[in-house]
Amino acid sequence: MKMTERRQMLLALLIKEYVSKALPIGSETLSKLDLGISPATIRNELAALEKRATSPTPTPRRDGFPREKGYRYLSRR
């Protein structure tokens, strides 16, 4: 699965919001950042990131906590 620019952007925003708020971040929170992307599209992209094992942690709730692999990916960019 390819890491598209949109997925990279969402991963970066997810981590930024998580670090600043210390709370789980979901699609509704990210959609309020006026990205021009619907919450449903954000959910689909987050699901794709989850399959890459970067984020969010896979739980039935999809709780929006970034994984260590996601942090490492962004730090290498």
* CB distance 2 to 45 below 8 Å: no
Closest CA to 64 of 21, 5, 35: 21
- Over 17-72, what HEC string results? HHHHHCCCCCHHHHHCCCCCCCHHHHHHHHHHHHHCCCCCCCCCCCCCCCCHHHHH
Tens digits of residue pLDDT in 16-65: 888 888 888 888 888 999 899 999 999 898 888 877 665 554 433 455 55
Would you call the peptide bond into 66 cis, given omega within 30 degrees of 0 as the criterion?
Answer: no
Is the entire prediction scored with pTM above 0.75? no
pLDDT for 55-65, tens place per residue?
554 433 455 55
